Structure 1
Amino acid sequence: MKPSPATSLHCRFCRHYYITHDVRFPYGCRAMDFKSKRLPLQEVRAATGRDCQTFAPKTPR
């Protein structure tokens, strides 16, 4: 069963996630204002040991 965007804490379903087009730091989070080599969710988990607290589901098109 595929997780729904509303219940999945994956960056691709978050409205704050974006692709930076910077080769060194391709992924970004507008809510926390940073870019990284790994997905922002992975960076947050590594730093805090918890899931992202700023996750906001994208609005449907």
Structure 2
Amino acid sequence: MSKKVFCHGCKYFFITHRIKRPWGCKKFGFISKILPSLEVSMTTGMECAYRIKSNFKNRGLK
């Protein structure tokens, strides 16, 4: 069984702040009402291969 890919923490994932389509993917260039990784999985039958972990630094926390 394959591991599920989720968008949270991905470099290409963003929030649109639109009620009907709140999430988007910069790599594929679309916005969606469900998580982009699930949209890609349902459309292509494969899991997203472009997930790259974001490089968030510890912002002000010591």
TM-score, normalised relative to structure 1: 0.80
Report how far residue 54 of structure 1 moved: 1.4
Counterpart of 2:40 in 1: which secondary structure? Answer: helix
Percent identity between the two aligned chains: 33
From the two aligned structures, give the one with the greater helix fraction: 1
Residue matched to 1:42? 38
Q: How many residues align?
A: 54
Give RMSD over aligned pairs.
1.3
- Quick one: distance in 2 between partners of 1:55 and 1:14? 6
Where does structure 1 lack aligned partners over 5 or more consecutive residues? Answer: 1-7
Where does structure 2 lack aligned partners over 5 or more consecutive residues? Answer: 58-62
Report how far residue 9 of structure 1 moved: 2.8
